[in-house]
């Protein structure tokens, strides 16, 4: 679907034109080094090194001598370290190299690769894109594997539900697993009841597209057990508690948790981290029909906990409950789940910052450090136990919704009921969408949190 991440990079610097990244401190010294015609042109246009400003410079023969790119004020703590991603959109076709690089050449190169993403399944863009020479000292293979994982997630999220239902999501999972030599299995339709995944079946029973639970395993069994779980609701109408039309417009992205899990899985397997990786994806469509599950229904979950349905639009936590219970049975060292779970998370932190929930302080401290270094923002919210009473039910062990307050926290608390044995558990309530374009982050599907997590896992398991 999207172009290969490696195609964003030029193989050789021999014919590449220079990009001078300048701020208010080095602008004058760089200016003095410019060819005469280029310097005169920059002076004539009044170029200033404001953040994101650029100027393509001519040479004496009327060709292109290079490009100036402004970084703004030196040492600005609020500067966007992915700003160099803007270069991918503004540079003319051809090969380019940093003659004067940004402070963090690695993040600049990654931002360029992330900006090169195009979703071309339904509309082709024939325009040739610029390519960047990876600076010396930057691991081009690492940049490519991260960008490829993110592109995979973006492709899946951007694909509309008519072309990405549960079966198609399973096919994408199988394709990734085959690429890396992982073993896949799935449980489909009414077999979910036979195999004790009643909540997955309940959510998906109203759709003609059969629900399923897909999983694969990779790596040596002797390595630490790492399990990723991703919410794969391929479209969410809200069920009988139907969403308004405005809230349904982006519901093709409700499988963004599955997409993020697969993106991270690709990075882990491509880097050959020393883990025994398990990926579990419950894939369903939450539809409306005569056999759709109803408010007030009560189901016994895989773990044995009975769940009263307070709202059919809180379906993601139901499919995750059975998936987490399955994952937990293996007692993994680390279990991570990704889900586009609550609107409350967006109200609290907006579309750019996913809340993270864990009781493992050491895990969070390490993740927060990598989140800052990778500029992949996360914010910890508490698993506040006094709010557990909001999930109370008079007729079942728990309700699937917790009232009108702290929706992201009560959703996380609901999931925590199904995790007993994992040494560490991390829950991420992601948005999986960029509502507007920014450098390195094009509008559309996004793999929030996976870059920070990959950095953490690389540190632990490489």
Task: Give the pLDDT confidence score for residue 6 in this predicted structure.
Answer: 62
**What is the rounded CA–CA span in Å between residue 64 and residue 58?**
5
Same domain, 150 and 236: yes
3-state secondary structure (DSSP) of residue 347: helix
The backbone torsions φ and ψ at residue 314, rounded to the nearest 5 degrees and listed phi first, read -100, 55
* Largest separation between any pair of C-alpha atoms in the chain: 82
Q: What is the mean pLDDT of the chain?
A: 96
Rounded to whole angstroms, the Cα distance separating 301 from 303 reads 5
Q: Which residue has the tokens 């973006």?
A: 154
DSSP 378-392: -EE----GGGGGGG-
CATH number at residue 247: 3.40.630.10
Read off φ and ψ for residue 121, nearest 5 degrees: -70, -35
Q: 360 with 450, same domain?
A: yes
Same domain, 157 and 101: no
Which residue in the list 243, 274, 300, 438 is annotated as catalytic? Answer: 243
Kindly report the backbone phi and psi dihedral angles of residue 443, in degrees, each rounded to the nearest multiple of 5, phi listed first.
-60, 135
pLDDT in tens, 129-169: 999 999 999 999 999 999 999 999 999 999 999 999 999 99
Same domain, 132 and 148: no
Domain final residue pick, 81, 114, 138: 138
Boundary (domain end) residue, out of 105, 138, 171: 138
d(CA 102, CA 329): 47
pLDDT at 161: 98
Domain boundary among 94, 121, 138: 138
Pair (149, 59) in one structural domain:
no
Active site residue 317: yes
Instruction: Supply the pLDDT for residue 1.
Output: 43
Q: Domain containing 86 — which CATH number?
A: 3.40.220.10
DSSP line for 246-275: HHHTTGGGGGHHHHHHHHHHHHHHHHT-SS
User: How far is residue 91's CA from residue 66's CA, in Å, rounded to a whole number?
Assistant: 9
Round to the nearest angstrom and report the end-to-end CA distance of the chain. Answer: 30
For the chain, how many structural domains are there in total?
2
Beta bridge partners of 280: 215, 229
For residue 5, the model assigns a pLDDT of 62
211 and 100 housed in the same domain? no
Low-confidence ranges of the chain (pLDDT < 50): 1
Among residues 86, 303, 317, 451, the one annotated as catalytic is 317
Question: Does pTM top 0.95 for this prediction?
Answer: yes
Q: What is the pLDDT of residue 2?
A: 55
Residues 387-407 as b/e (b if ≥16 CB within 10 A, e otherwise) read: bbebbeeeebbbbbbbeeebb
pLDDT of residue 125: 76
Domain boundaries, position 84: 5-138
- The two three-digit tokens of residue 369, written as one number: 């450090």
Q: Are 100 and 21 in contact (CB under 8 A)?
A: yes
Give the residue among 155, 347, 401 at the shortest CA–CA distance from 255. Answer: 155
Same structural domain for residues 122 and 183? no
In angstroms, rounded to a whole number, what is the distance separating the alpha carbons of residues 138 and 374? 14
Helices (H) and strands (E) in the chain, counts: 15, 19
Do residue 199 and residue 74 come from a single domain?
A: no
Strand 424-429 and strand 334-339: pairing? parallel
């Amino acid at each position: 679907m999207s172009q290969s991440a490696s195609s964003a990079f030029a193989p050789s610097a021999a014919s590449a034109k220079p990009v001078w990244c300048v701020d208010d401190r080095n602008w004058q010294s760089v200016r003095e080094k410019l060819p005469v015609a280029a310097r005169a042109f920059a002076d004539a246009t009044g170029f200033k090194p404001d953040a994101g400003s650029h100027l393509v410079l001519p040479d004496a023969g009327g060709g292109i001598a290079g490009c100036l790119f402004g970084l703004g004020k030196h040492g600005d703590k609020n500067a966007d370290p992915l700003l160099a991603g803007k270069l991918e959109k503004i540079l003319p076709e051809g090969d380019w190299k940093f003659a004067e690089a940004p402070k963090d050449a690695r993040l600049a190169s990654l931002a360029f690769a992330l900006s090169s993403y195009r979703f071309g399944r339904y509309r082709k863009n024939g325009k040739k894109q610029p390519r960047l020479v990876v600076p010396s000292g930057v691991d081009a293979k690492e940049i490519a594997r991260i960008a490829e994982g993110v592109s995979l997630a973006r492709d899946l999220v951007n694909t509309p539900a008519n072309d990405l239902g549960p079966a198609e999501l399973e096919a994408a999972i199988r394709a990734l697993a085959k690429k890396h030599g992982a073993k896949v299995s799935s449980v489909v339709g009414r077999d979910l009841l036979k195999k004790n995944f009643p909540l997955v079946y309940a959510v998906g029973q109203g759709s003609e597209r059969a629900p399923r639970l897909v999983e694969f395993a990779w790596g040596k069994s002797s390595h630490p057990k790492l399990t990723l779980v991703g919410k794969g609701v391929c479209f969410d109408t809200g069920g009988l508690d139907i969403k308004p039309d405005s809230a349904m417009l982006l519901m093709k992205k409700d499988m963004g948790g599955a997409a993020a899990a697969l993106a991270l899985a690709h990075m882990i397997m491509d880097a050959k981290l020393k883990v025994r990786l398990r990926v579990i994806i419950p894939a369903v469509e939450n539809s409306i029909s005569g056999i759709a599950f109803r408010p007030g229904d009560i189901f016994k979950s895989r773990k044995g906990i009975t769940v009263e349905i307070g709202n059919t639009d809180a379906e993601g936590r139901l499919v995750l409950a059975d998936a987490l219970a399955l994952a937990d049975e293996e007692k993994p060292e680390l279990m991570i789940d990704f889900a586009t779970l609550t609107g409350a998370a967006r109200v609290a932190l907006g579309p750019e910052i996913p809340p993270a929930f864990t009781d493992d302080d050491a895990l969070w401290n390490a993740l927060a450090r990598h989140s800052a270094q990778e500029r992949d923002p996360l914010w910890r919210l508490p698993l506040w136990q006094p709010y557990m009473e909001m999930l109370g039910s008079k007729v079942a062990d728990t309700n699937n919704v917790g009232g009108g307050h702290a929706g992201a926290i009560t959703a996380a608390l609901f999931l925590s009921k199904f995790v007993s044995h994992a040494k560490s558990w991390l829950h991420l309530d992601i948005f999986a969408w960029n509502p507007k374009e920014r450098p390195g982050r094009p509008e559309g599907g996004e793999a929030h949190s996976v870059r920070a997590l990959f950095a953490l896992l690389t540190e632990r398991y490489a």
